[in-house]
Amino acid sequence: MKGIVVQFRRGRHRIHEKHYLIDLGLKNRDEAKKMSGKEVVWKSPGKEAKEIKGKISDAHGNNGLVRAVFEKGLPGQAMTTEIDVKGELPSAKTEKKEVKEGEKK
């Protein structure tokens, strides 16, 4: 699954350098909550592509954004670039459960 780095997690006086807001194209807070715990990877452009790994910590707001904490801070050029989310999508898990429940009946 792909996502877009939107912004630092920030307040009025402080920017959290390792915390980022990520848009995964989810509809609401419930879908975003299901993504917590998934690993995310940002790959730098260029010949020597660096990978910075992080983890989705929680939902942010009610419109489907998530917060991710990275091992070290991403560079400023990472804003509006793509990231990869590792692991299975929450919708795929629910579909498997529905199929299994249908087989039991």
- Predicted pLDDT of residue 80: 92
Tell me the residue length of the chain.
105
Mean predicted confidence (pLDDT) in 67-87: 91
Which amino acid does the sequence have at 105? K
> C-alpha angle 93/1/21, rounded to 5°?
105
Which segment of 18-22, 77-81, 88-92 scores lowest on mean pLDDT? 88-92
Residue 50: half-sphere exposure toward Cβ, Cα within 13 Å:
7
Mean predicted confidence (pLDDT) in 12-25: 91
Instruction: With a cut of 90, say whether residue 69 has pLDDT above it.
Output: yes
Work out the percent of the chain whose per-residue pLDDT is above 70: 83
Tens digits of residue pLDDT in 31-52: 999 999 999 999 998 888 899 9
The domains located in the chain, with CATH, are 2-104 (2.40.10.190)
The pTM score is: 0.77
- Predicted pLDDT of residue 38: 94
| Separation CA 60–CA 6 (nearest Å) | 12
What mean pLDDT value characterizes the chain?
86
